[in-house]
Amino acid sequence: MFGLLVSLLERLGLFAVGFLLLMRFSVFKRLMTGTATRYEKLVLSLFFGLFGIAGTYLGVPVQDAIANSRVVGVALGGILGGPLVGLSAGVIAGGHRFLIDIGGFTATACGIATILEGLLGGLLYHRFKRERFDAGTAFFVGVTVEVIQMIVILLVARPFDAAFHLVQVIGIPMILGNSIGLAVFVKLVDSVSREQERFGAWQAQTALKIALRTLPFLRSGLNEESATRTAQIIREMTDLDAVSLTDENQILAHAGAEEDHHRPQTPLLTAATKHALATGEIVVAPTKLEIGCKNPGCSLGSAIIVPLKRHNKTIGTLKLYRLKENRISPLDMELANGLAHLFSNQLELSEVENQRKLAKEAEIRALQAQINPHFLFNTLNTIRSYMRTDAETARRLMVKLAEFLRKNINPGTEELPLANEIDHCKTYIEIESARFDDRIKAHFDIDNEALTCKVPPLILQPLVENAIKHGILPKESGGELHVSAHRENGTLLVSVTDTGIGIRPETLATLLTDQAAPPAPHDEGSGIALKNINARLIARYGAEHALAIESTFREGTVVSFSVPVGH
C-alpha cells in the first residue's frame, strides 16, 4: 500500500513539470484571474481532460484495474475554471477511460466516477473555499471526490468481491496521493498568482511614481522641455539603457545610451518609430535590424515603441531601449504600455486644463465690468446673516440677487425699455440697502413717457453702482441718491446724482480721457465703468450723447447722458 502511494506521488511529479509549463501561457493566467473567454475555457477543458488521460496512462496496474491520478487533472479543471470546465474535462478523461477498456472490470465505474469528480470538484471547491486558491479546501475536495470514486466502484463494478478487494488495495493510496497532489497543485497556482500580484503591484507602483513625478512637466504639453525631464525621470527610476520621446516629426528628448546621435530636434532616425506613428500601434523591435536606426554604429539592440495619443490621435511616441538584442521583457512591455496610457491621459488633461483656463480668462474678462465679486460675496454673507434673524428678508434678497445676476450675465445687445433698467437699479439698491441699512437713501424721478424709451442694456445700473460704491458709502454718514429721467424734444435725459464725497478736480479732469489719472484714494476707483459706458454711448449715438460729469469734492456728483428717442 505504501509502495503504491509513493508510485502515485512520483507520477504526479511528472505532471507538475507540465503544469509549470502551462502556467507560463497567458491563457492560463487569464483563467487564474477569472478573465478567460468561453473559447479559452473550452481549450483549457480539453487540456485538463488530456491531463486526466495522461493520469490514466501513467497509472499503476492493480488487479485488472489502474491505480491512477486521473482525478487530479479533471478536479483541478473544476477548481480553476469552475464546474463546467471540470465537467467537460471529466467527460473527456472519463470517456477515454471507458473506451480504452470497454467491458473491462472497472471501465464503466471509472468513466462515471471521473465525470462526477470533475463536476463535484468545481462545485465543492467554490462552495467551501476560504480564499481564491485554498490548498486546504483542495485537499478536502480531493478526499471527497476520491471517496466518491471508491463508492461508485463498489456500486457499479462486478463481481462485488473483486471490487471490494480492489478498493481495499487502492483506496487509501489514491485518496491520500491524489488529494495531496491536488493540494500541491493549487498551492503552486496560489504561489504563482501571488507572485504575479506582487509583480503587478510593483509595476503599477513604478508607473504611478513616474507619472506623479512627470505630471508637473507634462501639464505644459508634449514639448522638448517636458520630454527631457520625463525621459530623465524614467531613466532614474528603471534599469533601462535608454529612453526617448518624440513628436510626430522629430526627437524631443533622449536619455541614456547613444545620446550622441539621438539628439533633440533631430528628425526621426528609426524605422520602428515611423511605423508606430503611422499605425498608432505598439511596436516591439527585438533586434537592431528591426529598430532600423539610420546610424550604422548605433548600439541599441532592442526596443519597444508605444504611441502617445491625445483624443485617439497619435501625437508622439515613448521608446524604451535595451543595448542587447531580444532583451525587451514582458515587464518592459507592460511598463511602456502603462506609462504611455498614463502620459496620454496627462496630455489630454493638460489640453483640457489649458482650454478651461483660456475659457475662464475670457469669461472673467467678459464679466469683469458686470459683476463685482466682492459685491456677490458680501451679498451672500448678508443673506446668510438674515437667515438667522429674518427668513423672509433673506428669501426676498435671494430672489433679488437671482434677478440681478440673471440680467448682468445675460444682458443681451438689443436696446430695451428704460423701465427694465430702472427695475435693475432698484434691485441693486435694495440688495445694497440690506447691507448698509439707512446709509443709502434712494429717490427716483421718472416721467411715465420716459419709461418706454429704449436704452442700451446695463447703461444705468453701473452708474448707480458707481455712485453708491465710490460716492455715498465712503462717506461715514452715507448719502442720498437721485435717479431722474425725462423726455424732452425727442431726447431722453437721464441723470444720476449723489451727495457723496465727490471727485477730486485732478481726477475729474482725466476721468473720461485716455490720460493717466493721478494717484487717488482707493475709494475713488479707477473710472473703468464710466469710461466703458461713455465709449458705448459715443459708439451708438455719437459724441453729442457722451457722458457729462459734474462733481464738487466732498459734496457730491452728477452723471448725466442723453439718448435720442426712436433712434
Q: What CATH code would you report for 2-196?
A: 1.10.1760.20
**Which amino acid, one-letter code, is at 472?**
I
Query: What whole-number distance in Å separates Cα of residue 505 and Cα of residue 342?
Result: 62
**Which amino acid, one-letter code, is at 214?**
T
Q: Is 129 helix (H, G, I), strand (E, B) or coil?
A: coil
Q: Is the pLDDT of residue 1 over 90?
A: no
Q: Give tens-digit pLDDT for 384-406.
A: 888 888 888 888 888 888 887 77
pLDDT, mean over the chain: 85
Three cell numbers written together for 537: 454711448
> Which DSSP state fits 413?
S
Per-residue pLDDT at 242: 94
Per-residue pLDDT at 379: 80
Three cell numbers written together for 395: 428669501
Per-residue confidence at 38, pLDDT binned at 50, 70, 90? confident
State what percent of residues in the chain have pLDDT above 70.
91
Q: Is the pLDDT of residue 491 over 90?
A: yes
Residues 293, 300 contacting (CB under 8 angstroms): yes
Per-residue pLDDT at 363: 41
Q: Give tens-digit pLDDT for 139-183.
A: 999 999 999 999 999 999 989 999 999 999 999 999 999 999 999
Residues 252, 228 contacting (CB under 8 angstroms): yes
Closest CA to 501 of 475, 482, 523, 527: 475
Q: What CATH code would you report for 373-564?
A: 3.30.565.10
- Please check whether the two domains, 224-366 and 373-564, share a CATH topology: no
What is the domain partition of the chain in residue ranges? 2-196, 224-366, 373-564
Q: What CATH code would you report for 224-366?
A: 3.30.450.40
Per-residue pLDDT at 517: 54
Q: Is the pLDDT of residue 24 over 80?
A: no
DSSP for 50-113, please give it.
Answer: HHHHHHHHTSEEETTEEE--HHHHHHHHHHHH-HHHHHHHHHHHHHHHHHTTTT-SSHHHHHHH
Residues 302, 287 contacting (CB under 8 angstroms): yes
Query: What whole-number distance in Å separates Cα of residue 290 and Cα of residue 303?
Result: 9
Distance of CA 466 to the CA centre of its chain: 46
Decide which of 358 and 522 is more confident.
Answer: 358
Number of Cβ within a 10 Å radius of residue 82: 18
Query: What whole-number distance in Å separates Cα of residue 315 and Cα of residue 250?
Result: 11
Per-residue confidence at 515, pLDDT binned at 50, 70, 90? low
**Which amino acid, one-letter code, is at 201?**
A
Helix (H) or strand (E) holding 173: helix 160-218
Per-residue pLDDT at 257: 92
Per-residue pLDDT at 232: 93
Q: Give tens-digit pLDDT for 305-331.
A: 999 988 888 999 999 999 999 988 877
Per-residue pLDDT at 388: 80
Mean pLDDT for 435-439 is 81
> Which DSSP state fits 329?
-
Q: Give tens-digit pLDDT for 2-15.
A: 777 787 777 777 77
Q: Give tens-digit pLDDT for 100-133.
A: 988 888 999 999 999 999 999 889 888 888 888 8
Per-residue confidence at 365, pLDDT binned at 50, 70, 90? very low
Per-residue pLDDT at 104: 85
**Which amino acid, one-letter code, is at 218?**
L
Query: What whole-number distance in Å separates Cα of residue 12 and Cα of residue 290?
Result: 44
Decide which of 183 and 33 is more confident.
Answer: 183
Q: Is 558 helix (H, G, I), strand (E, B) or coil?
A: strand
Q: Give tens-digit pLDDT for 407-425.
A: 776 555 578 899 999 998 9
Dihedral angle at the C-alpha atoms of 413, 414, 419, 421, nearest 10 degrees?
A: 10
Distance of CA 424 to the CA centre of its chain: 44
Q: Is 445 helix (H, G, I), strand (E, B) or coil?
A: strand
